[in-house]
Structure 1
Amino acid sequence: MGTITFLIVLSILVFIHELGHFLAARFFGVKVHVFSIGFGKKLFSKYYRGTEWQFALIPLGGYVKMKGQDDTKPGLVEKGNDSYNNKKPWQRIIILFAGPFANFILAAILYFAIAILGATSLSPTIGNIIENSPAQKAGLKTNDKILRINNTEIKTWKQIGETITQTKGALNFYVQRDNKIQTFVINPHISDSENMFREKIKKRMIGIAPAPKIVTITYSPIEAISFAYDKTVESSKMIFLGVQKLIQGIIPSSEIGGVITIGKVISDASQSSFIALLSITALISVNLGVLNLLPIPALDGGHIMFNIYEIITRRKPSDRVFMYLTIAGWVILGSLMLLGIYNDINRIFLKG
């Protein structure tokens, strides 16, 4: 069942991505010969309104084949106003960007659905207090539930940390204890900590840890729009930073996961809950959008860079340069895929 869920989720993500390219191409009058989910041997196809819609044997991606665009033939020129290569560079950029943009829109829709159905998060309930910390000195206790900090209403544990780090000076904590609300004034201190990338940082802290309690928060439609926007932007920034830290060597290459890891994560999420499945699907959709915008020649981001170059210099890159850079891009992508699979297999054997 997990494998089927993985294939369905991946197919939906690929379909939405390619649909973005397809709709933008058709908007500018570009003919699309093929819309494919998967690569390799064709399993099923149907010709409809000038496009062959198909499922292929290897379901790990997809593509739209437009008239006048072929990475294996950079010098290809197909005449006619319905040819991709005859469109203006800014139009081609929109066609290329439309795929990743569709993934961001899908993620926002999924986050909106999560907010309406009920987003789960850690409760703002204290599970542990560090000895001699500002929280202990102020009088906070285990099982205290933090309701408000200054004028900020607290619904999740994450909001506690965000409020503490984004404010200055002493803070007023409004806490529920034994069905009574008590107020405590706490002055956070600067302590050593780690961020999500395990980098050493210093930040304002009061010395508390969460209790293992989950809260479900349901948002109104207006609140859900804000939630969806914030989560999509937050996820995008996290992935961009992750790529940056990987390039800098802060995140080791052993952390790169392949298709096996993705499949396992989706499978585990589907077995956990429907909300968990929606959440991981939204995150992977953002991931797909961000990674496709990287300036690697074989990706949408690389092709966007070629068109920006054409806008600036008013000439296209030479066929030879285009071909060499595209091959280099495929080598980079192939190497990353192989590394991901290698890491996946290593994890399986290490656990075994």
Structure 2
Amino acid sequence: MEIFIKASQFILSLSLLIVLHELGHFIPAKLFKTRVEKFYLFFDYKFSLFKKKIGETVYGIGWIPLGGYVKISGMIDESMDTDQMKEEPKPWEFRSKPAWQRLIIMLGGVTVNFILGILIYICLLWAYGEKFLPNDNVKDGIWVQDELATNLGLQTGDKIVSIDGKKIERFGELPIEFINGNTYTINRNGETIQKEIPTDFISKLVDRDKNAGSFITPRYPFVIAEVSKDSPNLNSGLQPKDIIIAINGEPVTYFDQAKELLEKYKGQKIDVIVNRESNKVTVPVSVTDKATLGVALGSLSLPDLEKLGYYQLASKSYSFTEAIPAGTKKAWTTLANYVKQLKKIVNPSTGAYKGLGGFISIGSIFPSEWSWYAFWNITAFLSIMLGFMNLLPIPALDGGHVVFTLWEMITGKKPSDKFLEYAQITGFILLLALLLFANGNDIFRKFF
């Protein structure tokens, strides 16, 4: 069921983005009286799952879910219909239109993607507002429990001040800032320290166990999830959801403090005080020779931690007019972060290319339970990502066509149909190689 929910959200999001992207080409083409022969969701090599001709356009759904397309008369595109290009240009064909009209048609898809991303972010902020943990409110610093964080040079209790000189406002932004950054500044026991982020940090992040969670977290209390069946404290009175707040009379705020205290009492019988539904309860326990209590550590959500007084979250609500600049800024930040990640990917020394993913990776970012907030948030991100990727100056992408059209407008020389045909084939080969590499990465990570 979990896979079905993820897949359903992924297919719905992908279909929405493809249809609207292609609509961005379709509408200006029709406005400029250019014939559109096909409008397809997914590719229809050899056959279609559905098709219907309305007017001069065939609308359909293909069987290969790798994208979609509009087939515009007189244009060398995904269809590679070179026979049509051998005939004399017709007034309704793409190649007969002025360069400025062709440029608008080609930019229509990415324009829709960027506008859609901005609109979704505006509506999400207007409808839901924001709730987050301010970085300044993590007053006792972070909890380092991961080798990746240790290799970064972090220690439990460090307060992260800035990354690449940029002050971090929200704790949740830290992982992406570390991925995109080069240096960071921390406050450790009152001393300000600047460190470099290792070049191979992203490579190690990609190789890390995917179920390990975030490599950087705020400090958490000692919450008991369950008492193990082979635990010496199975019948001690410890219960799930108990929060240990004192060990043998010494107060404990965070789990990392409890670990240090338990080392002192290995193999001994002591008393612990737990917070149980707002009541303080004393429980006699036995500490194992490995300095544990034989319990599984539980987790709490940030709102739960706020209720218990560990952290104070910040909330923001937006009127529609306030959401417009805020949503636009969020879309711009999303785009800027994505561009930074691409720069890391094309630098082989970072190892970021190993994190490049295909359909499995994209589908996995959707939640296992249906959430409209998460669905629209991810769809906005994918829309902006799709818009930028299509702007890359690669033949077979919108950006490639835009480059050729701009060249024509600047020089007055139009590339030959044969050149455009070869460029399209080259672009397809590049895209196919990228597609195989990205999805191959997914398969390798999943099974090996």
Task: Using structure 1 for the length normalisation, give the TM-score.
Answer: 0.75
- What runs of 5+ residues in structure 2 fail to find an aligned partner? 143-156, 158-167, 175-189, 203-215, 220-300, 304-312
Taking the TM superposition and a 5 Å limit, the aligned residue runs for 1:65-84 are: 65-71=71-77, 72-73=80-81, 75-76=85-86, 79-84=89-94
Deviations 1:220-272 (A, max 9, x none): 11121112101111111222222232223235321110011112223x2x626
Does the residue aligned with 1:33 lie in a helix, a strand or coil?
strand
Q: Report the counterpart of residue 56 of structure 1 in structure 2.
A: 62
Q: Report the counterpart of residue 261 of structure 1 in structure 2.
A: 361
Q: For the residues of structure 2 that align with 1:159 and 1:4, how far apart are their CA atoms?
A: 28
Quickly say closer, same or farther: Cα 1:319–1:284, change in 2 above 3 A: same
Q: For the residues of structure 2 that align with 1:347 and 1:17, how far apart are their CA atoms?
A: 31
Taking the TM superposition and a 5 Å limit, the aligned residue runs for 1:168-317 are: 189=192, 191-192=194-195, 194=197, 198=201, 210=218, 213=302, 215=313, 217-249=316-348, 250-266=350-366, 268=367, 271=369, 273-317=371-415
The answer on 1:112 being equivalent to 2:210 is no
Shift of 1:209: 7.2
Letter in 2 for 1:20: G
Deviations 1:147-179 (A, max 9, x none): xxxxxxx9854699xxxxxxxxxxxxxxxxxxx
Larger mean Cα displacement after TM superposition, 272-281 or 230-239: 272-281
Shift of 1:14: 0.2
> Larger helix proportion, structure 1 or 2?
1
Q: For the residues of structure 2 that align with 1:47 and 1:244, how far apart are their CA atoms?
A: 44
Quickly say closer, same or farther: Cα 1:329–1:189, change in 2 above 3 A: same
Quickly say closer, same or farther: Cα 1:104–1:85, change in 2 above 3 A: same
Aligned CA-pair RMSD: 3.2
Quickly say closer, same or farther: Cα 1:257–1:117, change in 2 above 3 A: same
Shift of 1:76: 4.8
Tell me, yes or no, if the aligned pair for 1:26 and 1:32 is still in contact at 8 Å.
Answer: yes
The answer on 1:345 being equivalent to 2:349 is no
Tell me, yes or no, if the aligned pair for 1:68 and 1:78 is still in contact at 8 Å.
Answer: no
Quickly say closer, same or farther: Cα 1:209–1:54, change in 2 above 3 A: closer
Q: Report the counterpart of residue 17 of structure 1 in structure 2.
A: 21
Quickly say closer, same or farther: Cα 1:319–1:66, change in 2 above 3 A: closer
Q: For the residues of structure 2 that align with 1:228 and 1:260, how far apart are their CA atoms?
A: 28
Shift of 1:88: 1.4
The answer on 1:122 being equivalent to 2:132 is yes
Shift of 1:311: 1.4
The answer on 1:33 being equivalent to 2:37 is yes
Shift of 1:119: 4.2
Larger mean Cα displacement after TM superposition, 240-249 or 226-235: 240-249
Tell me, yes or no, if the aligned pair for 2:76 and 2:420 is still in contact at 8 Å.
Answer: no
Q: Report the counterpart of residue 334 of structure 1 in structure 2.
A: 432
Q: Report the counterpart of residue 134 of structure 1 in structure 2.
A: none
Shift of 1:69: 1.1
Q: For the residues of structure 2 that align with 1:69 and 1:308, how far apart are their CA atoms?
A: 16
Quickly say closer, same or farther: Cα 1:47–1:244, change in 2 above 3 A: same
Shift of 1:284: 0.7
Deviations 1:289-323 (A, max 9, x none): 00000000010000111111111221222334323
Tell me, yes or no, if the aligned pair for 2:13 and 2:375 is still in contact at 8 Å.
Answer: no
Q: For the residues of structure 1 that align with 2:104 and 2:425, how far apart are their CA atoms?
A: 24
- What runs of 5+ residues in structure 1 fail to find an aligned partner? 131-141, 143-153, 161-186, 200-207
Shift of 1:59: 2.3
Q: Report the counterpart of residue 422 of structure 2 in structure 1.
A: 324
Quickly say closer, same or farther: Cα 1:6–1:76, change in 2 above 3 A: farther
Larger mean Cα displacement after TM superposition, 295-304 or 26-35: 26-35
Quickly say closer, same or farther: Cα 1:264–1:20, change in 2 above 3 A: same
Matched residues, number: 296
Letter in 2 for 1:245: K
Letter in 2 for 1:107: G
Q: For the residues of structure 1 that align with 2:96 and 2:200, how far apart are their CA atoms?
A: 44
Q: For the residues of structure 1 that align with 2:326 and 2:87, how far apart are their CA atoms?
A: 46
Tell me, yes or no, if the aligned pair for 2:49 and 2:60 is still in contact at 8 Å.
Answer: yes
Larger mean Cα displacement after TM superposition, 73-82 or 100-109: 73-82
Tell me, yes or no, if the aligned pair for 1:89 and 1:310 is still in contact at 8 Å.
Answer: yes
Larger radius of gyration: 2
Residue 95 of structure 1 is aligned with which of 70, 83, 105? 105
Tell me, yes or no, if the aligned pair for 1:115 and 1:218 is still in contact at 8 Å.
Answer: yes
Deviations 1:123-147 (A, max 9, x none): 12316337xxxxxxxxxxx9xxxxx
Q: For the residues of structure 1 that align with 2:62 and 2:88, how far apart are their CA atoms?
A: 26
Q: For the residues of structure 1 that align with 2:88 and 2:117, how far apart are their CA atoms?
A: 36
Tell me, yes or no, if the aligned pair for 2:42 and 2:64 is still in contact at 8 Å.
Answer: yes
Q: For the residues of structure 2 that align with 1:159 and 1:349, how far apart are their CA atoms?
A: 30
Task: Using structure 2 for the length normalisation, give the TM-score.
Answer: 0.60
Shift of 1:189: 4.0
Identity %: 34
Q: For the residues of structure 1 that align with 2:30 and 2:343, how far apart are their CA atoms?
A: 34
Quickly say closer, same or farther: Cα 1:31–1:52, change in 2 above 3 A: same
Q: For the residues of structure 1 that align with 2:444 and 2:15, how far apart are their CA atoms?
A: 27
Q: Report the counterpart of residue 170 of structure 1 in structure 2.
A: none
